[in-house]
Each structure stands twice: as C-alpha cells, then as structure tokens.
C-alpha cells in the first residue's frame, strides 16, 4: 500500500469519494454540466492506483452511488418508483463502476499500461450495452447523454452510437491516471499512453468539427408543433371531453396550417378513442389535412377491446389514414397497453418520413430500422414529466445524429423541439409557455447514411472483446505476464 498510515488512507479515501461523487452528481442527472463528467472517475482511479483492492472497491462503489443520488427526487417524487427498484438503479451502476475500477487497478499494478487504459472504458461500455438489451428503459442512464450539449463530441455517435462516446469519456481520465503511474518508471511510456489516449479524442473532435461544418442534406420544409399543458388537456379524457379536446387541437392546427406549414405534430395520448367511434376523430383531422395540404400526426390512446394501444394516427392529404403503435412502454404507467410491432413510413415527394412515440427513442434499434429505410424526418408525439423535459426530451437528439435524420418532437409537459441530423436544436419552446404553445421552424428533410446506421452496435461488441481480453489478462498467473500490454 502506498499510504504511509491508516490516517492518510482514510483521508485520501474520503477525498476520492467526495470528489468523484460531486463530479458525477453535477456532471450527470437531469441537467448535466457536461465538462465535469470527463474527470469524474479520476479521483477514484487515482486512489485505486495506490490502495488495496478492498479499499479501492469501497471508494469506487460509494462515490458512484452518492453521485447517482442526483436522480433521487425524480425517481421518488415524480415517477413514484418503489424503493427496491431505486436501490437496484443506484446500486447496479455503482457495483459495475467498482468492478471496472478493480480491473483497471489490477492491470495497472502489473504494469500492463495499455491494457489498463482500454480495459476501464471497455468494461463500462460492455455493462451499458448489456443493460440496454435487458432494461425496459433502453439506453436510459447512458453516460453519453451527459454530453448532448457538446455538439463537436456528439458527432462521433454517427460512427459508434452512444457506446463510443461513453468509451472516450472514460478513456480521458484513464489515460491521465495511467500516465501518472507510468511516469514513476518510464517518462517516455507515460507520454506514449497519454498521447495515444488524448490524441484519439482529439481526432474524434476534429471529425466532429468537420461534420458540423457541412450542411445537413435535403430541402427544408416548414413544420409546426403545438401542445397545451392546461389541466383539462394534460389528462387523457374520453367521450365528450375527448371530442372537445380534439376540436380545440384541430382549431389550433388549422391556424398553424394557414401559415404555410407542411407538417403539424401533436403530443401523444391526447385522449381516448374507441375503435367503434374513431370515424369522428378521423373525419376531423383528415378533412383538415385535405384542406390544408399538411401532414398531421395525432397521439391518442386507441381502444380496440380487449386491447388498448398508445397510437399515433397520421393524416396526410388525400391519403388513407396510417397508424403507428408505440413499441416501448413506460412501466408501470403503460403496462396495460399493447406494444406495437411494426414501423410506419410516409412516402413524400421530399423523401421518406417515419413515426415513433416518446420512449421509443430511448432505444437504438428501432430508429436504426427507420434509418435503413432511408428516413429523413422523424415525427414524434411525446409526453414528458416536466422535471425531465431537458434530459429525457433531449435523448432523441442522439438518435438524430446516429441515424442521419431530423426530428420533430411535440411533448406535453415538456418541449416542442426541432432537431437536425447533426444534433443541433433548430428551435424549441416549452409546452407550458402559453395556453396553446406553438412552434414553427424550417427543418432539413434529407437522409444521410451513417456508419452506425449500417453497422449497428459494432463498437459495443468491440468493447466486449477488449473487456474479455482484459479479464483473461488479469486472471493469468503473474509468472505468465512478463511482457505486459
């Protein structure tokens, strides 16, 4: 142990815990300050380089657990999540972070500088990817979402998806700590490690700068979004109340259509529509689409006994009504709804458009299906929870960059947001900014094929491979480790 006394050990342990926890707390959560996440793991890694494995594990676990409490109010007071579920949400990432730190420490102690450099971010990305496959929340909680405001860095999602972003975020502090440790025996090796790690990040940022400097493809079209957070409109009425709500939204949509808009997006689950009585709603919006020559997307709860769907109805001028059923439900609030299984495409003169609903955009696979169909514009009815209007509302921005399409997302209790395929928010308005908040913007409609849309989660699998190699490396007897990598 590098610490001369138990007192110093305890002091530096608490220093590492509090430093990393504070950086995670403010660097992530609902309103992340993105620069902090780049150095958040560094105190825990520095401590692990000098301490026993038990102390390192405790420090890493505690730091990440405390940092994750930035979501406590959201889980407890907004989502009313059971305590047991919250413990899993807080504890699982903290445990995985501790494992990644221990793997890093073990390789570092063996002098396997390069393996330690890669193993730490690869382990975390492997955990994130596996979690996204089994979690009902998809990629929710991914470290990459803390970087949505760092547009230059965000562009790498077009190549690697969110996995490359998480990897590089953790590569940065890993390179720093490995270099500091390697300097004790070889200054040249320290500079090699630091140069390789930070040099790769510099290349990625250069790519991002170039991509941002090139214009988004396709012609531009005028779109409109509208939503109301008035008490009578936030709930999901049925019967006569539903008819009044649709009439109010229809009137607002007609006002917007007169201003030359080609697309009008409304939020999800506006009201309940029963299958036996849907003609009335369809007639209202279809006639409006025919008169105004605008495509109108309307979210609703569609009841076809014994099943209920979270559905978007798409009304295009002089075309039969199309439907899209939400694939990914939010438990337990939507556990009684039947998930959809298909995509919905609109073939327009300007290109192909697609439809998803709110939480669908927390998952990478569905958006990638649309990208492979050449979609240039995604229309997304949504409903957020006020507190998460920034964090959850902007998760869709990642899908735009990954898959090369623009997004029009209209949310109750959230934002009306228009995003291009570079992740630039072209226009945005809070849904509670007026009795009927509205937003008009010009959005590019062209699809740009990205490497991620073609190859999918290749980087996550590469991280799995690197993680597996590191585990084998650490399990080998020391006598077989004469030439560390």
Using CA of residue 263, residue 268, residue 270, residue 271, what is the dihedral sign? positive
Residues of the chain with pLDDT under 50: 1, 481-483
Question: CA-CA distance, 61 to 300, in Å (whole number)?
Answer: 43
The answer to whether the CB of 142 falls within 8 A of the CB of 132 is: yes
> CB count, 10 Å around CB of 3?
17
pLDDT at site 356: 98
CB-side exposure of 65: number of CA atoms within 13 Å? 15
Question: CA-CA distance, 461 to 458, in Å (whole number)?
Answer: 5
pLDDT at site 1: 47
Give 207's DSSP letter.
Answer: H
The answer to whether the CB of 117 falls within 8 A of the CB of 197 is: yes
Question: CA-CA distance, 367 to 362, in Å (whole number)?
Answer: 9
pLDDT at site 407: 98
pLDDT at site 288: 96
pLDDT at site 106: 95
The answer to whether the CB of 120 falls within 8 A of the CB of 103 is: yes
pTM: 0.94
Using CA of residue 370, residue 376, residue 379, residue 383, what is the dihedral sign? positive
222-225-226-229 Cα dihedral, nearest 10 degrees: -150
Question: CA-CA distance, 117 to 434, in Å (whole number)?
Answer: 51
Read off the tokens for 435: 């009795």
pLDDT at site 378: 98
Nearest residue to 147 via CA among 271, 274, 40:
40
């Amino acid at each position: 142990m590098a610490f001369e006394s138990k007192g110093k050990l305890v002091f530096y342990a608490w220093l590492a815990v509090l430093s990393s926890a504070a950086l995670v707390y403010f660097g992530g959560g609902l309103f992340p300050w993105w620069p902090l996440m780049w150095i958040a793991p560094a105190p825990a890694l520095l401590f692990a380089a000098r301490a026993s494995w038990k102390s390192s594990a405790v420090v890493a676990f505690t730091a990440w657990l405390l940092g994750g409490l930035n979501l406590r109010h959201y889980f407890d007071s907004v989502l009313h999540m059971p305590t047991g579920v919250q413990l899993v949400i807080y504890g699982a990432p903290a445990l995985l972070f501790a494992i990644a730190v221990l793997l890093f420490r073990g390789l570092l102690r063996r002098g396997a500088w390069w393996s330690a450099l890669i193993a730490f971010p690869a382990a975390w990305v492997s955990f994130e990817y596996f979690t996204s496959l089994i979690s009902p929340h998809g990629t929710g909680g991914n470290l990459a979402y803390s970087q949505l405001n760092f547009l230059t860095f965000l562009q790498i999602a077009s190549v690697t998806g969110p996995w490359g972003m998480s990897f590089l975020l953790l590569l940065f502090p890993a390179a720093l700590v490995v270099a500091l440790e390697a300097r004790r025996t070889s200054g040249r090796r320290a500079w090699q490690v630091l140069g390789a790690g930070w040099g790769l990040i510099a290349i990625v940022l250069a790519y991002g700068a170039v991509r941002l400097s090139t214009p988004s493809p396709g012609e531009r079209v005028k779109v409109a979004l509208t939503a109301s957070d008035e008490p009578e409109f936030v709930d999901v009425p049925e019967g006569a109340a539903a008819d009044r709500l649709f009439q109010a939204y229809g009137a607002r949509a007609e006002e917007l259509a007169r201003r030359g808009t080609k697309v009008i997006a409304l939020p999800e689950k506006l009201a309940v529509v029963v299958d036996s009585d849907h003609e009335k709603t369809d007639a209202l919006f279809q006639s409006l689409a025919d008169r105004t020559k605008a495509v109108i997307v309307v979210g609703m709860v569609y009841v076809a006994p014994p099943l209920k769907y979270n559905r978007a109805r798409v009304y295009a001028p002089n075309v039969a009504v199309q439907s899209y059923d939400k694939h990914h439900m939010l438990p337990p609030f939507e556990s009684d709804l039947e998930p959809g299984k298909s995509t919905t495409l609109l073939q327009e003169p300007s290109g192909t458009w697609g439809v998803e609903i709110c939480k669908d955009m927390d998952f990478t696979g569905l958006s990638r299906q649309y990208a492979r169909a050449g979609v240039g514009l995604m229309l997304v009815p949504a409903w957020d929870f006020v507190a998460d209007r920034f964090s959850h509302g902007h998760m869709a921005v990642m899908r735009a960059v990954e898959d090369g399409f623009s997004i029009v997302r209209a949310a109750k209790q959230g934002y009306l947001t228009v995003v291009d395929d570079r992740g630039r928010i072209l226009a945005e308005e809070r849904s509670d900014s007026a009795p009927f908040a509205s937003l008009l913007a010009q959005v590019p409609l062209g699809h740009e094929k990205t490497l991620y849309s073609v190859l999918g989660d290749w980087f996550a699998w590469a991280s799995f491979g690197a993680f597996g190699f590191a585990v084998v490396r650490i399990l080998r007897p020391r006598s077989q480790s004469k030439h560390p990598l």
